[in-house]
Amino acid sequence: NDDGVVLGDSIANPSDMDNHGQRPEISRAFLGVLGNSTRYSDTLGRDMVYLALPVFNLSGKSLVLRTATPLRTISSDLRNAYMKIAVAGAISLILVSILGFALTSRVNGALQIIQNAVREYSKGNLSFRPRVFRPPELKRVADTISDLAGDLLSRAADASRQRDKLETIFAGMEEAVIVLDTNLAIQEMNESAYRLSD
């Protein structure tokens, strides 16, 4: 109470206990703030951590509620907590490293496939198709490159068919046809033109 008299205790007999009015955590609690203190307890014979809740009124009396726990228990709990945090941190670091390595390997692999595709296209092999599935961004790049190559291959095939068709028509013409460049040099001539030159 506000006289420092202990009214109840969960371990010791209050009548055997000293006046607690001058205990630091009790004094602070009676000032209306949370009180705490770590010190040796004569009653229990060990270092304790105390916490006192600010003053409250009960049936017209000003009272403070205080709780305590052995410092050794808190230290042990803190050590266990720090150990768990350290282990969790180490595991998280390992998992992040593995994930980062996997992602880097996947990205590098996808980039290598795209690079191979560009190399093949530069050689004229437009039938090459890069197979990239992940990551999604690089898959879209590979698919776009593949679509462009397919489109070019289709156009090249169309152009080849048109050229073959024109060559067939050109060769089958009875009239002599000679194709000259801007310098009037002969570039193409059909069979009829060859016969004329004889």
Residue whose C-alpha is closest to residue 33's, from 50, 53, 57: 53
* Structure-block tokens of residue 178: 């000679």
Q: Give the orientation angle of helix 71-122 with respect to helix 136-172, to 10 degrees.
A: 10
- Asked if 178 contacts 186 with a C-beta cutoff of 8 angstroms, the reply is yes
Q: Are 22 and 29 in contact (CB under 8 A)?
A: no
Structure tokens at 196: 């004329």
Q: Look at the pTM and tell me if it is higher than 0.85.
A: no
For residue range 24-75, what is the model confidence (pLDDT) as tens digits?
A: 888 888 888 888 888 887 777 788 888 888 877 777 778 888 888 887 777 7
Kindly tell me if the per-residue pLDDT of 86 is higher than 80: yes
Q: Where are the beta strands (DSSP E) in the chain?
A: 35-41, 46-52, 56-58, 61-63, 66-70, 178-180, 186-189
- Between CA 50 and CA 70 the distance in angstroms is 9
User: 142-176, pLDDT tens digit by residue?
Assistant: 888 888 887 888 888 888 888 888 778 777 777 78
16 C-beta neighbours (distance < 10 Å), count: 9
163-186: b (≥16 Cβ within 10 Å) or e:
eeeeeeebeeeeeeeeeeeeeeee
C-alpha 162: how far from its chain's center? 53
What is the rounded (10 degree) CA torsion for 113, 117, 118, 121?
A: 170
pLDDT band at 197; cut points 50, 70, 90: low
